[in-house]
Chain A
Amino acid sequence: MEALLDKNRLKDWIAALDGWEAYAPARQDGIWSYQPAGDNPELNHPNTPQPPKGFAFPQREIFFKFEQVKGEAPRLTAVSPAPTFRVVFGVRPCDGRAVPRMDRVFSDHVDDGYYQARRDGLAYVGLACNTPPSRHCFCQSVGGSPVSTDGLDVLLTDLGERYFVAAVTDTGKALMQAAGALLAKPGAAERKEVARLHAAAVAQPQRGVNDAAAAPAKLKAGFDSPLWEELARACIGCGICTFLCPTCHCFDINDEVTGTVPLKGSRVRTWDSCQFPDFTMHSSGHNPRDTLGSRLRQRVSHKFRYFHENFGMHQCTGCGRCVSECPVGIDIVRVVNEIAGSV
């Protein structure tokens, strides 16, 4: 299903999405982030520093609440995410490609009900990258493309005054149907223009991982390379690269006490990062990954080797956030290339 939408009717489409909460990138306090879609959303954003991953995997998730009166058994009350239907506009293809990857993680072995419940009500309306949203993008080298539809329900292509709207999934079709008369039928010229724009986007020069297919084997061979410490030398061990990555999913579980008489609190999941030193530290103080190099190796290997070994795909979609946002410029592309080049 394909259609045309006047850019200034985007708000009307959103208004027509009955029962859906809509979100779109907006600039506030100097940065772009996904916000409830305002009166006149314009999809002219660069890549938002934070990906839309929080919609399905929020930074904080309450699993259940507990309450215990002295001498009695604790009472547990599971907290389930309220069933909501949310549609996120303006998702870049790299972030779209992150969706199936996250889906894999949270359904592998057993289903994570919390993720699933949020994911079930989510739709992503993507926006093709006619021009690269950042100089650090490298989606093509990791199997993606600036016009990829992977993980998206709808893909928009910017035609200047109008969007070319293409449904990817049934949900996408439903969203488009809701637009009714707002959508116009595209003609051959428009289709041609889209094809041209897409081809041009793909043809844009991009930096990239040299041979992503070979990366798993190369990283395996280079596991003991002294280069890891070398490459991590400037790393300050913050969590930016992981917190902002659309596919990083590590988390922590903690009990948050909110009262002591009687004992009250919640068990809560929060994002965590393999770059933090205590992430793997045993209670004895032994830490299997006790250097910045070993932690960088874990992050990069997880994305380019382990995930591939388990699921047959890279866990990096080339969004470039970990590169652009890293305070000291640790560059995952360079890391993969250097390690691969050293073996």
Chain B
Amino acid sequence: MSSKKRTGVFVCHCGNNIAATVDVAKVARVMATEDSVVYSEDYVYMCSDPGQKAVIEAIKKNQLDSVVVTCCSPNLHEKTFRDNAQAAGLNGFTCEIANIREQCAWVHKDRNVATAKAIKISRSAVRRASRNQALEPIGIGVTRRVLVIGGGIAGIQAALDLANAGLEVVLVEKQATLGGHMIQLSETFPTLDCSQCILSPKMVEVSRHPKIKLMTYSEVKEVTGYVGNFKVNILKKPTYVDPEACKLCDDCTQVCPVMVPNQYELGLTARRAIHIPFAQAIPASYTLDIDACLGLNPVRCGKCKDVCEAGAIDYDMLPRTVTEEVGAIVVATGFDLYGQDNLGEYGHGKIEDVLDGLQFERLCSASGPTRGKVLRPSDHSEPKDVVFIQCAGSRDPAQHCAYCSKICCMYTAKHASLYKHHVPDGRAWVFYIDIRSGGKGYEEFVQRTMETDETIYLRGRVSRLYQENGKIRVLGTDTLSGQNVEIDADMVVLALAMTPSKGTAEAAKVLKIGRDKDGFLAEAHPKLKPVESVTAGIFLAGTAQGPKDIPETVAQASAAAAKVIGLLSQPRLTHAPTVAKVRAAHCTGCEMCVDACPYDAIHLENGKAVVNAVLCEGCGTCQSTCLRAAIEVKNATLLQMNEMIEAVLGY
């Protein structure tokens, strides 16, 4: 770059579209007076075949090294003319478009005024072009493997879709088994088919799939790299049981002296320190819960190890960190229920017979703690009056979650209906605010619950409930009749809000992807990119992104899988080279750009900002944030912007 730029300017008449209002010849003439311009002409249709040829010819003949076409919106012909520049042996990024049609000729009538404005627009493009660098697109190799985080239905579905498309998948699940929340459900609305029955085969398929590497009891600890090239460190926690050797004989649990609440049964039952979450768990193996165990010391206990004939128990098992390389990541870390203890008005979770939805699912489940009988946890009696409270924690911006959890109306209807099937002489009340039953067959399902199953729906909120004489007194209002309602219930079931799981928060942190105001993972665009995260190469599936039911979860999981398949089907990814670049000498490492970059494309190295060109989208936020003008986007530098401002002001 040791000599001045040789810029060519091509002013298009666009037939009469431009020429009728703008004196194109004058524009061309004035552009010739620009310092860097060595060639300037106007032509009737620049984008026509002869027009394009003329551009190419002129570039060659005049040894131009940069080009400005002043014509229509860059959305229309930027590519055309960049290709022309390329055809003439230039780098496409040396070509700039000045839009004097949509932004000028078409919106003004006065010829002098429009011409003056066209000159300003063209001039600013010339100034910019005269400082453009030739840039080459950034090519990125891709690793054709995928990491799926979370082994609920979302993760399972995504993993299967990906693996069936021939991609290698690493599926990481935090718990000792696959299945997520869906495996805890008894029947599923609106068809009331058995949840386990439809999920278990998929779990088995995952465990057997040759392309899927299943890592349960594992957590993703660190992710580095970028789209196509992530490096992932996964911590595999020790289960102390060798799944290969374990014969599932259950001898160990018989001797284990420790009892702790069973999470899978949501505390409705207890389990031993060594346990299998449930019979159909995948992988089918026992896990020793080290937090509950008396100590991995044969002197202190060691009973399970003694009893295990298969010799599957190994107290010396250590946590292992596995590094995997993947090209894309699907995050399916699911939801948690809004804790009952958050709800003071409903007893802070301290009233034994106030249950949450999942607990009720377990009560209804044939494999559940009560073998499918609906019994009160406190005295194992059959509850005759059951109150279901919807929106427990949802739609309450003042106190709890502002959003609608979307599925509660449906599962409450399901619960009421299941209850009535189990206890036909019982009475079921549902407190609701609205019934939201959009979905195939959903509205009909609710209607059936009301009519066929004779559930009493009360529109209103429950203000308080408390225990009295072995009953739970529920105080509420029926806003339709305006009456206060008091019910002495045997059992209350809260349809708790769906919140992002703790694991989702952890994953977001590790992956450095954004979360929305409610803590769910943020999609890149609410409408057009609902399964993309803000970071290229990281996709979202299931309830980690927002409340949804199983069909929606599955659909999103498959969509995410399709996106990944699309991404990884390219042999190389390319990335626009108009990315930020740091002036190391000026950078003080204050990290403001790091914080501001929407793509986490910047990090510090030896106290200086460094841009990961593959992640940078060239938005310029860093450029406007850095106090020291130490970071600039290529071909949109501060100098270029400033010279464009000058040009626009005729300065």
- A and B in direct contact, judged by CB atoms within 8 A: yes
**Bound form: Cα–Cα A260–B644 in Å:** 11
Residue A160 interfacial (CB < 8 Å): no
Q: For residue A260, which residues in chain B have a CB less than 8 angstroms away from its CB? A: 643, 646-647, 651
Q: Mark out the residues of chain A between 261 and 293 whose CB falls within 8 Å of any chain B CB in the assembled complex.
A: 261-263
In angstroms, Cα B120 to Cα A260, docked, is 12
B309 interface residue, CB < 8 Å from A?
no
Interface size on A, residues (CB 8 A): 8
Q: Is the CB of A70 within 8 A of B33?
A: yes
Please tell me if the beta carbons of A69 and B646 are within 8 angstroms of each other in the complex: no
Cβ–Cβ contact B34 & A70, under 8 A: yes
Whether the pair A70, B651 counts as a contact (CB closer than 8 A) is no
A260→B35 CA distance, assembly (Å): 9
B650 at the interface (CB under 8 A from A): yes
Most B Cβ at <10 Å: residue of A70, A260, A262: A260
Q: How far is the CA of A69 from the CA of B35 in the complex (A)?
A: 9
Q: Is A312 an interface residue (CB 8 A)?
A: no
Q: How many angstroms from the CA of A189 to the CA of B650 in the assembled complex?
A: 70
Question: Chain A residue with minimal CB distance to B647?
Answer: A260
Docked Cα-Cα span, A258 to B646, in Å, equals 10
Q: Are B33 and A69 in contact (CB under 8 A)?
A: yes
Q: How large is the interface on B (under 10, 10 to 19, 20 to 34, 35 or more residues)?
A: under 10
* Chain B residues with CB below 8 A from A261, complex form: 33-34, 123, 647, 650-651
Neighbouring A residues of B35 by C-beta, 8 Å = 70, 263
Bitwise, A233-273 to B at CB < 8 A (1) or not (0) is 00000000000000000000000001111110000000000
| Chain A-chain B contacts (Cβ-Cβ < 8 Å), number | 19
Residues of chain A lying within 8 A (CB to CB) of residue B34: 70, 261
B residues less than 8 Å from A262 (CB atoms): 33
CB proximity of A257 to chain B, nearest CB, Å: 8
> Which chain A residues lie closer than 8 Å to B123 at the CB level?
261
- How many whole Å from A277's CB to the nearest CB in chain B? 14
B residues 636-651 in Cβ contact with A at 8 Å? 643, 646-647, 650-651
Residue contact A259 to B651, C-beta cutoff 8 Å: yes
Minimal Cβ-Cβ distance residue in A for B33: A70
Chain A residues contacting B33 (CB-CB under 8 Å) are 69-70, 261-262
Most central of B34, B35, B643, B646 by chain A CB within 10 Å: B35
- Bound together, the chains give a CA A259 to CA B123 distance in angstroms of 14
User: Hey, which chain B residues are within 8 Å of A259, CB to CB?
Assistant: 650-651
Closest-CB distance, B381 to chain A (whole angstroms)? 82
Q: How distant is the Cα of A262 from the Cα of B647 in the complex, in angstroms?
A: 11
Docked CA distance A261–B33 (Å): 8
Beta-carbon contacts under 8 Å, B117-168 to A: 123
Contact with B along A286-326 (1 / 0, CB 8 A): 00000000000000000000000000000000000000000
Q: How long is the Cα–Cα vector from A263 to B36 in the complex, in angstroms?
A: 13
Q: Which residue of B lies closest to A263 (CB)?
A: B35
Task: Determine the chain A residues whose CB is within 8 A of the CB of B647 once the complex forms.
Answer: 260-261
Separation of A260 and B646 alpha carbons in the complex (Å): 8
Contacts of B646 in A (CB 8 A): 260
B417 to chain A, nearest CB (A): 77
The complex places the Cα of A263 from the Cα of B34 at a distance, in Å, of 10
- Assembly CA distance A234 to B34 (angstroms): 51
Minimum C-beta distance from A68 to chain B (A): 10
Minimum CB–CB distance for B649 against chain A, Å: 9
Report the Cα distance A258→B123, complex, angstroms: 17
Shortest Cβ distance from A69 into B: residue? B33
A261 to B, closest residue via Cβ: B650
What is the distance, in angstroms, from A157's C-beta to the closest C-beta of chain B? 54
Q: Which residues of B contact A70 (CB under 8 A)?
A: 33-35
B40 to chain A minimum Cβ distance, whole angstroms, is: 12
Q: When chains A and B are docked, how far (Å) is the Cα of A262 from the Cα of B34?
A: 9
Task: For residue A209, give the distance in angstroms from its CB to the closest CB of chain B.
Answer: 40
Q: Please, how many angstroms separate the alpha-carbon atoms of A70 and B34 in the complex?
A: 7
Q: How far is the CA of A57 from the CA of B650 in the complex (A)?
A: 33
Residue of B nearest to A259 (CB): B651
Q: Please encode chain A, from 53 to 69, with 1 for each CB lying within 8 Å of some chain B CB and 0 for all others.
A: 00000000000000001
The distance from the CB of B583 to the nearest CB of chain A, in whole angstroms, is 15
B-contacting residues, A156-172, CB 8 Å: none
Measured CB to CB, the closest approach of chain B to A72, in angstroms, equals 10
Per-residue 0/1 for B95-127: is the Cβ within 8 Å of any A Cβ (1 yes, 0 no)? 000000000000000000000000000010000
Of the A-B pairs whose beta carbons lie under 8 Å apart in the complex, a sample of 13, sorted by A's number, is: A69-B33, A70-B33, A70-B34, A70-B35, A259-B650, A259-B651, A260-B643, A260-B647, A261-B33, A261-B34, A261-B651, A262-B33, A263-B35
Residues of B within 8 A of A (CB): 33-35, 123, 643, 646-647, 650-651
The 7 closest A-B pairs by CB, nearest first: A70-B33, A260-B646, A259-B651, A70-B35, A260-B651, A261-B650, A70-B34
With A261-B34, A261-B651, A262-B33 given, can you name 5 additional A-B contacts, CB distance below 8 Å?
A70-B34, A70-B35, A259-B650, A259-B651, A260-B646
